[in-house]
Structure 1
Amino acid sequence: MTRRVTRRHALAAVGAAALGSLAGCSGLGSESRFWSDSPSLDVAAIPREFDEAVPSRPRLVPVDVEPTVDAAFRDRVDRLLSPIPDPLTAERLPHGEFRERIESERAAAREALPGPEESPPPLGAAERYTAARDHAATAVGTWAGVTVEGDPEAVTADGGTVSSRAYETLDALPGPAADPLAGAAVYGPLERWYDAAVRRTLVGGRSPADEANPIRAGEAVGNVERVQSYIEVGRYLRDRYASSLTDPEPVAEPIRREMNRLGRAVGDRLRELHGEGVEDLRENPGPDAFVEDRGVATDAPSDSLLSSAVYRSFDGMWFDPVAVGDYEPDHPATGLTRTTLVLTRLRAVDEVAARVEAGETMFPDGPDAIGSAREAAIASTAALADHENPLARWLTTQFLPLFAKQDAALAADERSARSVAEAYAEYRWIETVTGEAEAVATSVASEFGS
């Protein structure tokens, strides 16, 4: 049996049993390169804008944020900003850098709040509230640092206290849910907030009082306020969701079992890619592990896409709580969602590798091809966003941001065959990875139902 057949059969088995982006760069610090023998392309004929809108972020928490809660978060932003003179003139604060930072953070706080015509889903609204409070606290913390009577530490709660609250909130998750799939989609993002807070020292590091520079003191205040906001809104959404359930069930153990099962399958896949003797399965084996014989020139768009997609897939394993082999993350909803994401990416990388071996360059064959690729990516993403499976909808949130960079590249004043080809290949990647996401999410649902 050939290596290609073995690899693809093994991946299919992973899907049955357990079930990156393009920049022309390996992601390892080398200079960006582009296909030296690319065909000609009428770049001027390619539209800069498209009628088809990117799908909206799907709803994962099936409850709304109550108006009184929305008002409370907005009031907190207003109260944080109230000590800062408005306008903040040069006469009041002569130091230009400090003044500019305070003004920019104050403006960012107000812009982060959802506008009257906006209705983001609950998790999106929570992230907007938190960003607004972060910016507002950074602004007022900086202001407190440059005034004689100011005290940055008095702006928000003590960092140690907030850190303890984050741990307590994290330890109480996941709560009850309608079923394990819903529990993973609802509680995974909440766990992720607190897991990032406690693992990446968003709080518990240097206090505002330790910072002699007012800008750094303001940033320290903003960090603490951001985690405190996540604590408040996360507990609110957890309690509101739990109270909405007619027949709640504990889901932590079934989620953990599925997380570990996926992790074992991912570990088997990584061992196949690495071969013998690897010390850590999370190490990047390089794109050569995914292909036997390249059917395209080095740095053709498809080859570059393969390299960067492989890099991103393995980079995420170093920083995310992913179940790999025998490793069991502490928090099951986060572990299941992040491990599902890794499996989805590995399947998508293998599909790109198959196209590289088949000689597909992923260079657009004309101006219309770019719009067609974008439409196909949007259709695939929209189907995932509207899926009845909550885990599929969660996976959508991981791929939606990929559209922004490529849409911006096509709308730029200065475009080239390279930037257009990169956008085209990225749209093809989105279509591929969202298609694999549906297959993976469906297989997980089947396992929970068995």
Structure 2
Amino acid sequence: MTQRLTRREALAAGGAVALGALAGCSEAGDEPRFWDDPPSLDVGSVPSEFDAPVPERPRLVPVDVEPRVTAAFADRVDRLLAPLPEPLTAETLPNGEVREQIGRERTAAREALRESDASLPPLKAAERYATARDYAATAVGTWAGVTVEGDPEAVAADVGTVRRRAADALETLPGSAADPLAGAAVYGPIERWYDESQRRTLVGGNAGPGGRANPLRTGESVGDVERIQSYVEAGRYLRDRYRASLADPVPVAEPLRREAERLGTEIGDRLRELHGEGTDRIRSTPGDEAFFDERPLARDAPSVSLLSTALYRTFEDLRFDPVPVDDYEPDHPATALTRTALARARFRGLDAVASRIEDGETMFPANAAAVGEARNAAVESAASLAGSGNPLARWLATEFLPLFEEPDGALGASEPSVRQIAEAYTEYRWIETVTREARTVAESVAAAFDS
């Protein structure tokens, strides 16, 4: 790292930064492209189906949702959809775009409701019910916006009420828990529901349906409010049910805050190394070139493309996530620890990929069998994270398990291209890498709590 900073200082001397940038652009234009002459690969032998399933999303809240509660959420969806004519014909509603949105959202609500079965982990079930209520309220809110007798503002609670309920619920978190790790996993997702609703959904003068001229936007606004109300109800229920299950509860807010700050300090130090001295936008991306002293590969090599994609994901979240870098102090410690641990795992993963690039690794599959082997390694690593006894590790697994969907879908498509196969292969390599680094981060947090 000293070498990198010294190079930047040398370039800065005498105004050489501008010259270096111009030279870099010229060199990039003449640089050979990996995909101009890629290695050969037997595409027909690349597997499209796999024996090893993606691990199930782990349970974070160690209590079940009672049948009466699931029935109440399902009943709310049914009651929301009740006013809609079925079938909704062009004679009843001539506007095709509005009619299409109502039909699409009604169908999506019913599908989400069917998927919200008792086998889902409690947090996932709560998210499915919130999604179903969002779709249903969007459909009926759109309908109310185009009928004479309809009143979109009567479909769901008003924005101010829901905003206040979310704020009140957030003030009670994090509550007591079995231990700090359990508190982070249980309360972190619930805090985030409310925090995001306050910062993104229920903000500004246009947050509610009132005064909107476009019935499509009116319906979507009603759906947003209903979704947050569903989260308020589910979060309160899970909070109370979890607390009631504890034999020896302990307060966890301060331990969570301290550990988030420790990880945040590590991230801040790494960001300053990547940006160099004097930056005032430490949360902005430094570009993938900052991760290595020399890049012996073409810019479009699969490994370099993977680094760029993972870098974008990392900094897109870092811009808004409550990661305590520098003087920033997050308001909600459970969310702060979970999101900071996620960022730390990603940065460790980025460094690991950059190291392989410096070693000249293109991450192009050596043969067709290598693709299946990479997926198996990714599944094994993700399963280890999801099955960990460490609740924070299990929470981190919930963030990485969805990454299997895109590469599995690409390989399952008819006749994927060589490039699509290579991208799937690198994504499996990333999953293996970042889940391994996530285990290291989770173990360090557990050790800090035990010390």
- TM more than 0.5: yes
Give the CA deviation at 1:370.
Answer: 0.6
Secondary structure, in 3 states, of the residue corresponding to 2:144? helix
Aligned CA distance change for structure 1 residues 2 and 441 (closer, same or farther; 3 Å):
same
Unmatched tracts of structure 1, length 5 or more: 7-32
Q: How many angstroms apart in 2 are the aligned matches of 1:155 and 1:273?
A: 50
Q: How many angstroms apart in 2 are the aligned matches of 1:365 and 1:139?
A: 50
| 1:260-281: CA deviation from partner (whole Å, max 9, x where unpaired) | 1111121111111111110121
Q: How many angstroms apart in 2 are the aligned matches of 1:158 and 1:441?
A: 40
The code of the aligned residue for 1:153 comes to E
Residue matched to 2:36: 36
Residue matched to 1:389: 390
Residue matched to 1:167: 167
| 1:29-77: CA deviation from partner (whole Å, max 9, x where unpaired) | xxxx863231011112212221211011000000011000000000000
State how 1:48-447 maps to structure 2 within 5 Å.
Answer: 48-115=48-115, 119-202=119-202, 205-206=205-206, 207-447=208-448
Secondary structure, in 3 states, of the residue corresponding to 1:200? helix
Q: How many angstroms apart in 1 are the aligned matches of 2:322 and 2:34?
A: 34
Q: How many angstroms apart in 2 are the aligned matches of 1:326 and 1:117?
A: 44
Q: How many angstroms apart in 2 are the aligned matches of 1:3 and 1:38?
A: 33
Q: How many angstroms apart in 2 are the aligned matches of 1:203 and 1:233?
A: 21
Q: How many angstroms apart in 1 are the aligned matches of 2:213 and 2:79?
A: 25
Contact 1:286 1:311 in 2 (8 A): no
The code of the aligned residue for 1:333 comes to A
Q: How many angstroms apart in 1 are the aligned matches of 2:434 and 2:122?
A: 25
Give the CA deviation at 1:114.
Answer: 4.2
Aligned CA distance change for structure 1 residues 116 and 177 (closer, same or farther; 3 Å):
closer
Aligned CA distance change for structure 1 residues 374 and 3 (closer, same or farther; 3 Å):
farther
Secondary structure, in 3 states, of the residue corresponding to 1:70? helix
Give the CA deviation at 1:298.
Answer: 2.4
- Normalised by the size of structure 1, how large is the TM-score? 0.91
Give the CA deviation at 1:2.
Answer: 6.5
Contact 1:137 1:225 in 2 (8 A): yes
Aligned CA distance change for structure 1 residues 227 and 329 (closer, same or farther; 3 Å):
same
Q: How many angstroms apart in 1 are the aligned matches of 2:97 and 2:337?
A: 44
Contact 2:265 2:325 in 1 (8 A): yes
Give the CA deviation at 1:392.
Answer: 0.3
The code of the aligned residue for 2:253 comes to A
Give the CA deviation at 1:218.
Answer: 0.6
- Normalised by the size of structure 2, how large is the TM-score? 0.91
Unmatched tracts of structure 2, length 5 or more: 7-32
Residue matched to 1:28: none
Contact 2:321 2:339 in 1 (8 A): yes
Q: How many angstroms apart in 1 are the aligned matches of 2:305 and 2:138?
A: 40
Aligned CA distance change for structure 1 residues 145 and 169 (closer, same or farther; 3 Å):
same
Give the CA deviation at 1:324.
Answer: 1.1
Q: How many angstroms apart in 2 are the aligned matches of 1:85 and 1:253?
A: 53
Q: How many angstroms apart in 1 are the aligned matches of 2:116 and 2:297?
A: 51
Aligned CA distance change for structure 1 residues 66 and 204 (closer, same or farther; 3 Å):
farther
Give the CA deviation at 1:412.
Answer: 1.5
Contact 2:116 2:125 in 1 (8 A): no
Contact 1:203 1:227 in 2 (8 A): no
| 1:378-434: CA deviation from partner (whole Å, max 9, x where unpaired) | 000000000000000000011111110111111122411110000000100000000
Contact 1:409 1:420 in 2 (8 A): yes
Give the CA deviation at 1:249.
Answer: 0.8
The code of the aligned residue for 2:42 comes to D
Give the CA deviation at 1:95.
Answer: 1.8
Aligned CA distance change for structure 1 residues 157 and 2 (closer, same or farther; 3 Å):
closer
RMSD of the alignment, in Å? 1.6
Contact 1:160 1:203 in 2 (8 A): no
| 1:217-253: CA deviation from partner (whole Å, max 9, x where unpaired) | 1111101101000000000000000000000111001
Contact 2:297 2:360 in 1 (8 A): yes
Give the CA deviation at 1:90.
Answer: 2.1
Give the CA deviation at 1:3.
Answer: 4.4
Contact 1:265 1:325 in 2 (8 A): no
